[in-house]
Amino acid sequence: MQIYLGAILLIIVMILSVLLICGLPLGELTMGGRYKVWPVKMRGIAVSQLFVQGFALYILLAAGKILHIFISENATKIACICFAVFFFGNTVMNFFSTSKKEKYIITPMSLVEAICFTITAIGF
């Protein structure tokens, strides 16, 4: 169950990243709402984030035995733990965001992601 929930949330975040790259005015959901529309330089960063988000999605699905594991099971478990720590840290940072949209929409999503990765790592 947590694998599917985590995967859906990661796909939503990846879609948000694509929309930010395309210049849609959704910047209030990220980076403290500093930019309504991300500057071109920031869009390059979002492209690299897509790769990390895609890798996180793969790790979650591989740990859940939905996708074939191309790396060792130990490395997959360690990656799950790393992503759990990352998302817990992200949750804390988002909680203190000056953007209400980021605080009330993205923070809970990040917390759920952290929990999904934690449960998956423990059960793996």
pLDDT in tens, the chain (124 residues): 899 999 999 999 999 999 999 999 998 999 898 999 999 988 988 899 999 999 999 999 999 999 998 899 999 999 999 999 999 999 999 999 999 999 999 999 999 999 999 999 998 7
Instruction: Report whether 39 contacts 78 (CB < 8 A).
Output: no
Domain count, the chain: 1
If you search the block for the tokens 């996708």, which residue do you land on?
Answer: 67
Q: Residue holding tokens 């995967």? A: 7
Amino acid at 123: G
User: What is the C-alpha end-to-end distance of the chain, expressed in Å?
Assistant: 14
Domain enclosing residue 20, as ranges: 2-123
Return the number of other C-beta atoms located less than 10 Å from residue 36's C-beta.
10
